[in-house]
Amino acid sequence: MQVLVLNSGSSSLKFQLFSMPDETILCSGLIDRIGFNDANFRFKTQKETIDFETQILSHKSALKLVSQYLLDKDHGVIKSPEDISVVGHRVVHGGSYFSDTTEITKDVKDKIRFLSSLAPLHNPPNLEGIEVAEDIFPNAKQVAVFDTAFLQSIPEVAYKYAIPNEFLTEHQIRLYGFHGTSHKYVSEKAIGFLGKKESKIITIHLGNGCSMTAIKNGKSVDHSMGFSPLDGLIMGTRSGDIDPSIIFYLKDKLKYHLKDINTLLNKKSGMLGLTGYSDLRDIEAMASKGNPDCLLALHMNAYRIKKYIGSYAAVLNGLDAIVFTGGIGENSKFMRQLVCENLEFLGIEIDAEKNTHDTKGIRAINTENSKVNILVVPTNEELEIAKQSVNLFKN
């Protein structure tokens, strides 16, 4: 069975084609910097890797480019769209409607569309990916794997907001959390690496979107994002934690419309608002040249992460490991160093030399004296989505 997995992020598109159930990767690729003139396209098969820059201004055009290469007579790995049996889609927000992997129907798409107001940077490209895939692979089963599923184990004391009860019981306003597929995958890998039956772990997913999860014995118990992906850490274009009264001030005093406030906090804040850049690679490059705004933004980002490490260590009543993952978590040695500095009180000591190594797979970057393991675990949301998509039709 051939399973195509599409992961449409806020500014990127990851894809992998698997032969299941043996989990062989037939091809994979990434398009990042969607919306920029210099978007990067990578298409990798077992025989070759193709890289180039191009202008890709939408997820729809990105998906069409991927399909062209999948079917290309010289480079492609499938002969016709019928070769694809299942297309698995990462969908960020399932709200209270979805807590499990589900086959996509019109009703499912309508609910994903309805929930777009809660995940404006993700649910729309997720839905666009679904609809384009339906056209290109009309005979394949389309499956949605929701980011919120792994975080359903978070207890009421953590997911309930301190507002009148009817907002939860009647309107399902609560913490949902996101990046659940990634947190589930890397936490399982980390637990296997540690070889412990009982574990207390903090997973730190850093990319254009950023989140952290407190995980006890393989179950999530708290998470940095909330009702929507806007909450928590400083992100590429999202503010993260902010005093709600600022919203009222923007509306009443500065005369912002609510729609403009939503755009401001989701698309014009975070690292972009602080520096003028949303891509951390650009920010690190400018910081190395002495740009004070970029340098401060990096330190602010790390400071926010430290606060969550401290609070989650308290919630877990101890800590066996912190896990870095995601595009930034896996690749930015500078951010890992900033985050781990001055945390010796919690038993966290990073080895500067190990931190610079870019070896593949899981690696530990803590000192021998560190009481807490510091792990870098490459995420593979696509494999997790493929496995869940196949399992859906076994039951």
User: What are the DSSP calls for 267-313, one per residue?
Assistant: HS-HHHHHHS--SHHHHHHHHHTT-HHHHHHHHHHHHHHHHHHHHHH
List the Cα angle 385/116/283 in 5-degree steps. Answer: 75
Token representation of residue 253: 């005093």
Distance CA(122)–CA(133), nearest Å, equals 17
Contact 23, 386 (CB under 8 A): yes
List the Cα angle 391/213/5 in 5-degree steps. Answer: 35
Q: Which residue reads 């870098």 in tokens?
A: 376
Contact 63, 129 (CB under 8 A): yes
Contact 4, 55 (CB under 8 A): no
Using DSSP's 3-state secondary structure scheme, residue 348 falls into coil
Q: Which residue reads 């493929």 in tokens?
A: 386
Distance CA(231)–CA(242), nearest Å, equals 8
Contact 190, 323 (CB under 8 A): yes
3-state helix, strand, coil in the chain (%, to 5): 40, 20, 35
Distance CA(73)–CA(360), nearest Å, equals 32
Distance CA(198)–CA(319), nearest Å, equals 11
Q: How many CB atoms lie within 10 A of CB 61?
A: 16
Contact 342, 368 (CB under 8 A): no
Residue tagged active-site, from 22, 32, 135, 147: 147
Q: Please confirm, yes or no, whether 110 is among the known catalytic residues.
A: no
Of 7, 257, 11, residue with least CA distance to 121: 11
Distance CA(395)–CA(389), nearest Å, equals 11
Active-site amino acid positions = 147
